[in-house]
Amino acid sequence: MSYIEPAPIVDKDNPLDSMMSRFDEAVRLLGIDEEMYYILKVPARQVVVGLPITMDNGKIKVFEGYRVIHSNILGPAKGGIRFAPDVNLDEIKALAAWMTWKCAVVDIPYGGAKGGIACNPREMSAGEMERLVRTYTNAMLSVFGPDRDIPAPDMGTGPREMAWLMDEYSKAYGMTINAVVTGKPLVLGGSLGRVEATGRGVMVCTMTGLEKLRINPYKATCAVQGFGNVGSHAANLLDERGVKILAISDLSGAYYCQKGIDIAKAMEYSAKNNNSLEGIDKAFGYDKISNEELLTLQVDVLVPAAKEDVIDEEIAKKLQCRLIVEGANGPTVADADPIINEKGIMAVPDILANAGGVTVSYFEWVQNRLGYKWTLERINRRSDRIMKDAFDRVYQTSLDYKVSLRIAAYIVAIDKVAKTYKYRGGY
């Protein structure tokens, strides 16, 4: 058995490098051999395409599009499509790997993938976007498929783009194939519960974490960074369960109320205010605090649900919470992990905490294949069970290996994929 040295962290503030360093640590603890290490690390397939599009001014512009299938060992690959100016193959490769571990940790039968196009959706008309999505779909006809690779929305894409993708793919095969993509509008076979699914998973992880720490949710306090899709729904669902949300934040700033923020009203305010909390301090008499103050507040639970790299070593030293539940992807830099562990803070890692979204995407695919629609009650019950079971599995693994929940989550995921590969075998 040979052991792999951890890859040097090239850029300690890069969330993808942070992910790889944790992957390497879990691989070492599992005693995975060198052959298996490369099977798990190297993407199964990488596709790069040139996409010539006629722009509204009549000129043709060529975009570069990517799709990386990191792994299809557990089943068809699953992962979003990102439209952003700085999208590149390296980033897509790393994000595809991230999806492999996320699907494996919650035990859904998918491998990991990610796609993207280097473009600026803010500067493109609806017509240009539609031509780009349809051309990309055509170029990926042999990659995508309900049994091969199932895309979903990511940064810069949403239900509208998924509808075009589903339509273009269906046209090519001469029949409606809605299971080829998830995150579709409801009328096209989208799933109930998808919008709040990630926030709901964050809530389930928080409630389970509080239970393990023996903290009564009715006496618990919480701060939530980010008030978008994940943060607002997580805050709302926790508020409904008796957890007092002392602070929330978005790009406009952070807001504090000792008696607890009225989350329902804050959601209403943000919706009416162009998805911004700007001015909520004056409207409801809340205190405006700094972003750092929010992260380091004396609360039981901290939910970072905005962006990557917000908990660095400096912030970690000042943390006063007992439980962190990572709604965002990569909010904690790898160098902050030891500080968090030393302080005895329980940190539920992103690959577990925000997997509620991909879980309900999986339910969308299941419903499409069944040709049937589940009720919201059934979706919530089943996704809550998947999240709770995954939490318990990771928690038990952390006790067995005497490691943090983060490393335990990677151990659970890597072990599952490696074992499945061994059973399936190779040449």
Residues lying near ligand NAD in the complex (CB under 6 A) are found at: 198, 225-231, 249-251, 291, 305-307, 327-329, 354, 357
Hey, what are 140's tokens? 């990926």
Closer residue to ligand NAD, CB minimum distance, 43 or 231: 231
Least separation in angstroms between CB 212 and ligand NAD:
23
Least separation in angstroms between CB 154 and ligand NAD:
8
Least separation in angstroms between CB 240 and ligand NAD:
18
The pairing of strands 45-54 and 60-71 is antiparallel
CA gap 311, 343 in Å, rounded: 14
Q: Which residue has the tokens 């599992």?
A: 30
Question: With the C-alpha atoms ordered 92, 93, 99, 105, is the resulting torsion angle positive or negative?
Answer: negative
Are 84 and 100 in contact, with CB atoms under 8 Å apart? no
DSSP per position, 127-168: HHHHHHHHHHHHHTTTT-BTTTEEEEE-TT--HHHHHHHHHH
Closer residue to ligand NAD, CB minimum distance, 225 or 332: 225
Least separation in angstroms between CB 266 and ligand NAD:
11
Which of the 8 DSSP states describes residue 123? G
Closer residue to ligand NAD, CB minimum distance, 80 or 111: 80
How large is the C-alpha radius of gyration of the chain? 21
Closer residue to ligand NAD, CB minimum distance, 32 or 266: 266
CA gap 150, 156 in Å, rounded: 18
Closer residue to ligand NAD, CB minimum distance, 149 or 250: 250
CA gap 331, 310 in Å, rounded: 5
User: Is 59 known to be catalytic?
Assistant: no
Which ranges of 286-375 does DSSP label H, i.e. alpha helix? Answer: 291-295, 313-318, 337-342, 350-353, 356-370
Closer residue to ligand NAD, CB minimum distance, 114 or 134: 114
Measured at CB, which residue is nearest to ligand NAD? 228
The partner residues of 81 in beta bridges, in order of sequence, read 115, 153
Least separation in angstroms between CB 276 and ligand NAD:
7
Least separation in angstroms between CB 170 and ligand NAD:
25
Of 391, 424, 413, nearest to 111 by C-alpha is 413
Closer residue to ligand NAD, CB minimum distance, 135 or 329: 329
Catalytic pick from 114, 184, 244, 416? 114
CA gap 75, 227 in Å, rounded: 34
Least separation in angstroms between CB 421 and ligand NAD:
26
CA gap 342, 335 in Å, rounded: 12
Hey, which residues are catalytic here?
114
